[in-house]
């Protein structure tokens, strides 16, 4: 994706957990957050050391796809320029930021701007986003069909049942032509997924819109004709390799910024040599190829600037 700039990245939205992943195997050379918890925190307010002789970069990340991208391709790209990457794998979304704040990491890579801004405000952190890397889009998945036009009238289509992701799923179905409109969903009190199923104007094909817990949609997919599934859950279930998404979300400038996962550093380290090396490696052609080849639409590159 061609790099784009944005004049303002002030976002109020918090990061939905469904937009992040925290499960999966990490590469053998990665360290775990549990090991890191024993690290001294005497210099809690100090930014990571910027000694030019220090060629090791410590980056905190959640396992899938962040640590995979770091260990399977970024490590190699950095090594070409003489840097050693140490990936520290976390299973939650708080410690990667507090560890960065305390100077135990040089950067982290797992979060959107909305979540980072919320953490800065709520926890008094001093973090800055420096480069966008990827988005985990919602996709339409099926074990029965490979093109949307083959999905028959009356098909059973699953969507997440939480309000934010339910509307996101319905928006996806509308944008790809399965639904003519959202009907009164999200605007009319009492208009539910069942209402949308029965709304012949909004739903001319009579699809049975079936809300399920987001994490359960992959398990229910054999019993559905199709489903709108968040990218992280699709990855955890191995769907991209077995049943690649028929269609995925598309994004305008605003939603691109909102959904992008950024490389984040402590304020004051935005222009350090380590940060510059990380940005160069993470936004490289090798990373783009790895993401395209490995995740097959469940992750897409979003090489945008955080300025």
Q: Going residue by residue through the chain, which has 307 residues, state the pLDDT in tens, using 9 for 90 and above.
A: 444 443 333 333 333 333 333 333 333 344 555 444 433 333 334 444 444 569 999 999 999 999 999 999 999 999 999 999 999 999 888 999 999 999 999 999 999 998 999 999 999 999 999 999 999 999 999 999 999 999 999 999 999 998 888 999 999 999 999 999 999 999 999 999 999 999 999 999 999 999 999 989 999 999 999 999 998 889 989 999 899 999 999 999 999 998 999 999 999 999 999 999 999 999 999 999 999 999 988 899 999 998 6
Domain with CATH 3.40.190.10 in the chain: 17-137+252-301, 139-248
In this structure, whether the domain defined by 17-137+252-301 belongs to CATH 3.40.50.2000 is answered with: no
Residue pair 188/161 in contact by the 8 Å Cβ criterion: no
Spatial neighbors of 90 by CB under 8 A, at least 6 apart, are 22, 32, 33, 60, 61, 62, 96, 99, 110
- The pTM of the full predicted model, rounded to 2 decimals, is 0.70
Bridge partners (DSSP) of residue 210 are 158
Alpha-carbon 8 to chain mean position: 21
* pLDDT given for residue 22 in this prediction: 34
* pLDDT given for residue 117 in this prediction: 94
Alpha-carbon 280 to chain mean position: 20
Residue pair 57/87 in contact by the 8 Å Cβ criterion: no
Within 10 angstroms of residue 241's Cβ, the number of other Cβ atoms is 12
139-248 topology per CATH: D-Maltodextrin-Binding Protein; domain 2 (3.40.190)
């Amino acid at each position: 994706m061609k790099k784009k700039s944005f004049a303002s990245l002030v976002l109020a939205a918090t990061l939905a957990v469904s937009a992040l992943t925290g499960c999966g195997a990490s590469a053998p050379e990665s360290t775990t957050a549990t090991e890191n918890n024993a690290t001294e925190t005497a210099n809690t307010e100090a930014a990571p050391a910027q000694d030019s002789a220090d060629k090791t970069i410590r980056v905190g990340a959640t396992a899938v796809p962040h640590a995979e991208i770091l260990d399977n391709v970024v490590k190699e790209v950095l090594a070409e320029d003489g840097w050693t990457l140490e990936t520290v794998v976390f299973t939650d979304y708080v410690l990667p930021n507090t560890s960065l704040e305390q100077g135990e990491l040089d950067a982290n890579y797992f979060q959107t701007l909305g979540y980072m801004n919320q953490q800065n405000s709520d926890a008094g952190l001093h973090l800055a986003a420096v480069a966008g890397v990827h988005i985990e889009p919602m996709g339409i998945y099926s074990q029965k069909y490979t093109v949307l036009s083959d999905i028959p009238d009356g098909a059973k289509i699953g969507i997440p049942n939480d309000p934010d992701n339910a509307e996101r799923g319905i928006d996806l179905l509308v944008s790809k032509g399965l639904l003519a409109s959202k009907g009164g969903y999200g605007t009319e009190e009492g208009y539910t997924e069942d209402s949308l199923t029965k709304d012949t104007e909004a739903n001319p094909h009579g699809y049975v819109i079936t809300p399920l817990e987001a994490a359960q949609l992959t398990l229910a997919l054999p019993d559905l004709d199709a489903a709108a599934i968040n990218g992280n859950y699709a990855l955890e279930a191995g769907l991209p390799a077995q049943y690649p998404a028929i269609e995925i979300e598309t994004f305008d400038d605003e939603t691109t910024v909102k959904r992008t996962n950024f490389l984040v550093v402590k304020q004051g380290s935005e222009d350090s040599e380590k940060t510059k090396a990380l940005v160069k490696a993470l936004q490289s052609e090798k990373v783009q190829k790895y993401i395209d080849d490995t995740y097959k639409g469940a992750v897409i590159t979003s090489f945008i600037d955080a300025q």
